[in-house]
Structure 1
């Protein structure tokens, strides 16, 4: 044994019997995957030093004893590292470059055997060796730009020299995971073999390199030299890429374009200078709010996944599902279930509704075929997982039912009580309701413990979130089964407790309340949309209301007003005092329902792809004037505060009321459910970034002028006084 650590071992000898070959194996103790924490990187430095000191070696294989090779750096360390500032970040990068360069400079050929995922730092380890062999199922990539940073351990230097600048730009700026066959085609891999042949293939490459058949020194020299690109080629490659990537990433995500600049600046440099350029850019991005928030987002996602996994372990598997109510929503749910392998019955009382649901499913599968994700045979096979029916004949075998009929307590109550009599005693019933109390819907059920909410977001196939809503009598088993089914569908379930609007809609409606107040005070709704889209939302509030449907928003607003009259009374149709109608009520009364009938705040026309395109509608502008009661001047900052503070405050209340279990779950629900700007990290991280004290001060000033919609909670005031925050950068809780 040359070296033995907690995560790394180095031993002499391979299956070929040669004692001249060393094998460095990553196998992090007490972890399911290998990751490059600071402790593991330090071990790697010790291991490489031991290899350099060992006499008689003629080759090195780097591999993994786990299913994945290395999934990347230990992201849990990032926040504490970033907070130490540029000097410490650069010192860390210099240490790692020294270790990785030492691998690259070993006096004999080296090969990495990639048996599974090799991402981020794991990919950068593989790039240090002369050759790479991949198992057929392995994937390789540099996803750092998705965290607001860039590859900082040599990825921006080595990958372009290995696969070409244009291919490297695509991999790094896109943050993609790349299959073994693609890696082989581009030159990132030298061989792709079945996993059981991986070690033999790695040893074979070393033998050929030792025999002089493969010139590892030439490969190494090319990786360490400047890129072979002339000035015109450089301009065409990098300038074109920067323009395209900037347009795709948007102004709030600088890392992809910064990565291209790093590759460009380092193109004509030697290894040392190019790595210095990379390190400087990494440190700059690491100190940005965007990187801090995106890393926090990753951590929050891990919290949510861990909780979902814990529920899943307790669950009885859902082998057969059913959806009640076809149409667009039912068809979307059926498609999602069938596409992920869970057979589903799709029941309705009308044949034309069944056909509509099937049409929706077929359309979504057809798009997968068009994009090359499925073959026509696979499409046919997955479509067969959907069985349409007008009766309850096969419901005795169903494990879980999703009720997706019209958003009416009476209709849902009738359907749920009816289906309960047709299913087994252990069958879980769920309701895809967006606002109606689960406890209320459970009142007429014989087995309320087997009932919970399962709120999908539209369109089902695109929106990752599913709210799993626990009613007063919902059992842990019902929640666990529903979470497990949502995860099997490829969704991210977040468990919340019952209240009007649950979590996401409850938080969204104060945001609409702020919008309504602004419009009544003379703000131009089109300007509000532009300001909030510039802030980072995928669409402004007026546009979002058109997409949701004005009638649906009006109904949900009445539910919110009934549940939280002290701050959401303005969402109701029958408003107190002399303030008259809300802008949403006005739109409904004039049959301006949004995209569903091509007129709302905007008018809608079909674009070339048949999708609705919004255009300015003078009739809507004139109509909105009816609710304007005064004319104030607003800065962009005023608009942002008036919109964001009510949303953030309601998120705080949901956390304080126990509707959601943690800041991580609250923030992820808003990002996955309503498109909260990811680079801002979520509502609670947004408050932390502003400072709880500053947030409370601004909220109170608005509350004094505009009412309880902006009033901070007592607990939030206490947090402000004591200097608390929602997140501790060390724990992420």
Structure 2
């Protein structure tokens, strides 16, 4: 053993082959951090100083090759100055260059995932043999950055500029077939012969020294393109990357880097890469997307904790069909949990089954599901007008109309029929779980399980713990939600929980803007430019005018000191005219189906006439910055209160609720990450500027105190 580190082992075989093996102790995967890079540098120095070494085989002792950089370490790095970030990545990049410049041939045997820095390690070798079961790629763009350890330099010299740009700006994992066809790897091997094929390739490289040296020289030269030619080759990629501007600039930076560095020799291009990486790392998007990654990992860890005590869910039921019930039934059946879908009307069951069929047909059409599998999933949904079979379910979900009296009746009916250990969950979006539990004999088995529409696309499930909900009920529903492929976030009972509680002041801010005369179409345009998938008026139309009105009423009543309004709102006016939004073709906008049957919005002149009552002082204009402030501040302040009140256990859970449940722009990282970005003192100052508009702009005393200390919501 030439080197025996905590992350790397270096063994010299009798034939002069040194195996450089990534083997990170007891951890499940190999990753790149300071320790790994330090040990890699020392191992490479040993190889270069050992004359007996004739070639190097780079392997992994884990199921994956190397999954990439340690993102948790990156959070501290990203807080440094831009110059310090540049120095950090440049130093690590030099270590991979040491690998490229070893005096002997090198072959990487890619046995599993090689992502980000892991792929950059493999690119540092002379040759790459890839397992047929492996995948490689550069996912950094999803963190607001791009490869910084030589990936933007070495990959183009293997596969060309256009393909490299596609790999980098898509962040997609590449198959062995694609990698071989494009030239990123040299051979594919089945897992059982990967090592043998890689060793054979290394033997050929040792014997064919001239070819190996020529290959290295080619990879050190610049690409044979003028700057104008490089620009032409990258024109499509630049146009694609530009679509994410201004909020997600990393893809644009990466394409500019590829163009600028194309004609440079390797080392000059690597220096340019480090400088560009430092620029990307200091953007708001990078800080926010890394924060999201960390929050996602925390949510997975929490879910794994609950899974240890969760009771298995082998069969489920949903009461209340229609689109929502059909979506829940589809999701459960598709994930292997048979489900009864119960309703009191045939047409509702038909609607639910139609929804499930539509979702399955889409999967088949897209090639993601075979028809026989789709048929089997559909057969796992049992539509029923009765409660037959409810005695055998482990979880029963109530998803009837959002009326407390109706829900209480249905919940009592369910409880009388299910087993004593079965968990009953309500899909309520705004009613308190404590209120719904009144009259139940086993409130410890009752919980909230708030799905979001459309169920198949929305990742979040709010798991709402009532005052009497047991730990077993929480664990079981978290486990079931995870099995459904969703992200469960456990919240405490309160009006609107987290998503609708924070959405309500956001909508109230919108209604006040309309009351003050601001054009709702302009508000939508500004907020969509800010990054929201849809503006507030369009969002209300999609949710439904009646449902939006109901949620605002329920949540506002729960927090009357902050959320009451004293004027006739645009929702009041439009709902009175029976304009329900997309569901009946008329809301703030009017809707007609396109060629694929999807509703497309258009401006409706009639809306202008109707809204005259909702803006008593006529039309007015305010600047974009003021629209954004007036919309976003109430959302930030209420999210902070959710954390202070203990409705969620952490700022990360609050932020992920809004990202997954509301579609809050990811480049913000969440409402609270955005507040930290703005600076809490600035948030308080801006809120005080709008204090005359109502209590939704009033920061809590706790937030004022944190701001006064110059602290952040997220711990540093």
Q: How does 1:434-473 map to 2 (within 5 A)?
A: 434-473=429-468
**Structure 1 residue aligned with 2:15:** 19
In the alignment, which residue of structure 2 is the partner of 1:585?
572
How many corresponding residue pairs?
715
The alignment status of 1:357 with 2:352, answered yes or no, reads yes
Q: Which of 44, 48, 57 does residue 44 from structure 2 map onto?
A: 48
Task: Report if aligned partners of 1:73, 1:122 keep a CA contact under 8 Å in 2.
Answer: yes
Whether contact under 8 Å (2:227, 2:259) holds in the other structure is: no
Cα distance, 1:126 vs structure 2: 0.9
Q: 1:131 to 1:401 in 2, by over 3 A?
A: farther
Q: CA deviation at 1:30?
A: 4.3
Deviations 1:324-382 (A, max 9, x none): 22211111112222222222222223233222222211211221222222222332233
Which of 632, 636, 644 is the matching residue for 1:648? 636
What is the Cα deviation at residue 643 of structure 1? Answer: 1.0
- Counterpart of 1:657 (choices 640, 645, 665) is 645
Write the distance in 2 (CA, Å) between the matches of 1:558 and 1:103.
64
Indicate whether 1:706 and 2:702 are aligned: no
Aligned-partner SS, 1:610? coil
Long gaps (5+) in structure 1: none
Which stretch shows the higher mean deviation, 342-351 or 168-177? 342-351
Selected match of 1:611 from 598, 601, 616: 598
How far 1:228 moved relative to its partner? 4.0
SS at match of 1:604: strand
Scaled by the length of structure 1, the TM-score of the pair is 0.94
Among 685, 692, 696, the residue aligned to 1:697: 685
- 135, 141, 154: which one pairs with 2:137? 141
Partner of 2:543: 548
Aligned to 1:82: 78
SS in 1 for 2:690: helix
Q: Which residue of 1 aligns with 2:236?
A: 240
Query: CA RMSD for the aligned pairs?
Result: 1.8
State which of 69, 72, 78 in structure 1 corresponds to 2:68.
72
Q: What's the CA shift for 1:612? A: 1.2
The whole-number CA distance in structure 2 between the counterparts of 1:219 and 1:366 is 49
Per mean C-alpha deviation after superposition, the further-off stretch among 593-602 and 358-367 is 358-367
Cα displacement (A) at 1:119:
0.9
**How far apart in 1 are the matches of 2:598 and 2:249?**
30
Answer yes or no: is the 8 Å Cα contact 1:328–1:357 preserved in 2: yes
Distance 1:231 1:727, change over 3 A: closer
C-alpha distance 90-250 of structure 1, shift in aligned 2 (>3 A): closer
Q: Once structures 1 and 2 are overlaid, which stretch shifts more, 671-680 or 31-40?
A: 31-40
Which residue of 2 is the match for residue 252 of structure 1? Answer: 247
Question: What is the alpha-carbon distance in structure 1 between the residues aligned to residue 524 and residue 580 of structure 2?
Answer: 18
1:58: how far off? 1.8
- 1:582-618 CA-to-partner distances (Å, cap 9, x unmatched) read 2111111011111111111111122232211111111
Describe the shift of the 1:708–1:352 C-alpha distance in structure 2 as closer, same or farther (beyond 3 A). same
Aligned to 2:102: 106
Cα displacement (A) at 1:166: 1.9
Distance 1:155 1:318 in 2: 45
Residues 314-333 of structure 1, C-alpha deviations (whole Å, 9 max, x = no match) = 21222222222221111111
Matched, 1:598 2:585: yes
Cα deviation code 1:15-40 (max 9, x no counterpart): xxx43111111122342222111221
- Following superposition, the deviation at residue 714 of structure 1 comes to 1.1
State the alpha-carbon separation in 1 of the partners of residues 391 and 418 from structure 2. 5
Partner of 2:665: 677
Q: Distance in 1 between matches of 2:360 and 2:419?
A: 31
Q: Secondary structure at the match of 2:689?
A: helix
**CA shift for structure 1 position 250:** 4.1
CA shift, 1:235, in A, is 3.9
Which of 502-511 and 192-201 deviates more?
192-201
Q: CA deviation at 1:234?
A: 3.1
Match of 1:315 in 2: 310
Q: How does 1:464-543 map to 2 (within 5 A)?
A: 464-543=459-538
Among 697, 702, 709, the residue aligned to 1:715:
702
The 8 Å contact of residues 208 and 214 in structure 1, kept in 2 or not, is answered as no
